[in-house]
Amino acid sequence: MAVNVSEITESNFQSTVLGSDKPFLVDFWATWCGPCLAIAPHVEAIANEMTGKLGVGKVNIDDHPGIAGQFGVRSIPTLILFKGGKPVDQIVGAVPRAKLEEMVKRHS
C-alpha cells in the first residue's frame, strides 16, 4: 500500500472514511483484477498530490465483502468519493487519470 493510501477494513471504515473531515476516495479492488492493478498508480498519484485535501483508501473486496455490498459494488474497480460521510460520486472501471481528477475536483 502506498504511503498516502490507507487500507480500509470493516473495522476502520466508519472512522476513516465516513468520519473524515475532508473528501475521501475509496478504491474497491482485488488482487486478481487486472483493471484494478492498471488504475492503482493513478489512485496513488492523486493521493500523493492531494495530501491534506483528500483522503484515499483501498478496500480489498475479497477480504471485506461487507463494505462492497453496503455500497452496491458489483464490478471492480469501483471508486466512490465520500463527502460528509455520504457517497457523492462514483466511477466504475479503469478510466484515465484525468477522469478521476475531474471527479475529485467536482467535490473538493
pLDDT at 2: 73
- Please pick, among 25, 33, 80, 81, the residue that the annotation labels catalytic: 33
Asked whether the whole model's pTM tops 0.85, one would answer: yes
Position 1 in a domain: no
Helix (H) or strand (E) holding 31: none
Question: Residue 35 maps to which CATH number?
Answer: 3.40.30.10
Do the strands 86-92 and 24-29 form a parallel or antiparallel pair, or are they unpaired? Answer: unpaired
Q: Is 24 a catalytic residue?
A: no
Q: Is 34 a catalytic residue?
A: no
Number of domains the chain is built from: 1
Position 78 in a domain: yes
Find the mean pLDDT for residues 39-62.
96
pLDDT tens digits, residue range 92-108?
A: 999 999 999 999 999 98
pLDDT at 49: 94
pLDDT tens digits, residue range 65-76?
A: 999 999 999 999
Q: Copy the grid coordinates of residue 5.
A: 493510501
CB 77 within 8 A of CB 33: yes
Handedness of CA 47, 52, 53, 54 (dihedral sign): positive
Domain that holds residue 77: 6-106
- Please pick, among 36, 40, 79, 100, the residue that the annotation labels catalytic: 36
